Amino acid sequence: MAYSAEISRTSPTAILFLLDQSASMQDPFGGAKQKGDAAPSKARVLADTVNKLLQNLILRCAKEDGVRDYFHVGVVGYGQRVQPVVRPAAEYGVTDTLIPISHLADRPLRMEHRVKEVADGSGGTTKRRVQTPVWFDPEAKNGTPMCQALDLAAQSVRDWIDLHPHNYPPIVLNVTDGEATDGDPLRYAQQLRSYATDDGEVLLFNIHLSESEEAAVEFPDAIAEVPPDEHARLLYQMSSTLPFSMRAAAEQEGYRVTLDTRGFVFNADPAALVRFLEIGTRPSTLR
């Protein structure tokens, strides 16, 4: 059965984020703009969300003896440039886009100190200072070179698969608020998804951040569910169906899923973005 390889320190999987950093990411989410709120930009929300997710992924891998490398992780931004935005410390000598997660854990860009209310163990709450790691800051400039980003992702996963041919295949999560400005991304997406390990093809999931107050279309299982919009349908076609473990995670979040459900969300608000990333990074049980 595909997508059933055990994920362990000796058999990690890879998770690669592709983040739109085009100029339009300076705008707030669609609904917020129309209400005239002083809402944060999409770029800010996205950076905060992905930094938080990296933190959670590290915590899933953290044990008393350190961080176990269940995942190799990469974050590529595409806007003014197409490049990795998260890099490990120079002493690791790693130049790959996909980095063992323990290397990220050891060296965030900076630690922010925040005060958090936590349970005090006897029914009340107490304030505790927590350290919050930040790996990258928001950016929003120029066009949307999505094709170049998908091409860089394809090179990265191909190299990674050469070294890990039997592992759970890489997962690529693409977050965008607009149309590609450098060509037809479907071709690049098909190329990326054609790479495979013994356990299955590379998974590509896409999420489109909202421009309007329309409700999000989350995890559709037929193109008829997607708005009759060329861009939306293109992203749907680019997206892989969810493997078993992620269907289970989606069901737990209350979504109705079928074997045809795709890892795709159109017109997402910030909450839908969080759910999408959470479901898309649940490949299977860690061992």
Single residue of 133, 143, 183, 200 touching other proteins by CB under 8 A: 133
* Interface characters, 247-286, with other proteins (x: CB under 8 A): --------------------------------------xx
> Does 107 participate in binding other proteins (rule CB under 8 A)?
no
Q: Which of 46, 67, 209, 265 binds other proteins (CB under 8 A)?
A: 67
Which amino acid type is present at position 277?
Answer: L
- Which of 37, 59, 215, 227 is in the footprint of other proteins by CB under 8 A? 59
DSSP 50: H
Contact range with other proteins by CB under 8 A, out of 37-45, 74-82, 120-128, 146-154: 120-128
| CA-based nearest residue to 157, from 239, 165, 57 | 165
Q: How far is the CB of 25 from other proteins (least distance, A)?
A: 28
Give me the least distance between CB of 171 and other proteins, in Å please. 18
User: Which of residues 14, 16, 25, 58 is near other proteins by CB under 8 A?
Assistant: 58
Name the token pair of 7. Answer: 């994920």
Among 2, 39, 62, 196, binds other proteins (CB under 8 A): 62
Distance of alpha carbon 119 from alpha carbon 17, whole angstroms: 33
Kindly give, in sequence order, each residue whose CB lies less than 8 Å from that of residue 77, ignoring residues fewer than 6 positions away.
Answer: 19, 21, 83, 84, 85, 136, 139
Among the listed residues 6, 48, 211, 221, the single contact to other proteins using CB under 8 A = 6
| H runs (alpha helix) in 112-254 | 146-163, 185-194, 230-238, 244-252
- Helices 42-61 and 270-280, interaxial angle, to 10°? 30
Which one of the spans 18-26, 54-62, 143-151, 226-234 is the region binding other proteins (CB under 8 A)?
54-62
Name the residue among 88, 92, 93 with its Cα closest to residue 108: 88
Smallest CA-to-CA distance from 283 within 165, 188, 176, 202 is with 202
Distance CA 145, CA 35 (A): 30
Identified binder of other proteins from the candidate list 1, 36, 38, 63, rule CB under 8 A: 63
- Tell me how far, at minimum, the Cβ of 263 lies from other proteins, in Å: 20
**CA-to-CA distance for 17 and 98, rounded, in angstroms?**
10
Q: Which is nearer to other proteins, 116 or 187 (CB)?
A: 116
For other proteins, the binding residues (CB under 8 A) are 6, 8-10, 55, 58-60, 62-64, 67, 105-106, 111, 118-119, 121-123, 128, 130-131, 133, 285-287
